[in-house]
Amino acid sequence: MPRTVQIRDLDDQVYEALARRGAEVGLSVPEYLRKEAERLAARPTVAEWLDRTRRRSDARTPRDTLEALDELRGNWPS
């Protein structure tokens, strides 16, 4: 079920910036804020992102990376 959020006491400069950004993409301020809220909610928090990246079991070394790059690049011209 959709919810309503009310933001009070926005500075005029903040509202004008939101209106300008919304207008650039053809949206009203409420539409623009809704899209931005959806985008923000879809992103992981910093803690979630760090947790996910720490769980990666990557035993590669810098040498492995260099060898893979050399393989992709092929032989150097003489």
Q: What pLDDT, in 10s, does the model give residues 48-67?
A: 988 888 777 667 888 888 98
> Domain coordinates of the chain in residue numbers?
12-73
d(CA 24, CA 18): 10
Amino acid at 13: Q
Q: What is the DSSP string of 11-68?
A: -HHHHHHHHHHHHHTT--HHHHHHHHHHHHHHSPPHHHHHHHHHT------HHHHHHH
Decide if pLDDT at 78 tops 80.
no
What does the pLDDT look like over 29-48, one tens digit per residue? Answer: 999 999 999 999 999 999 99
What's the confidence (pLDDT) of residue 53?
80
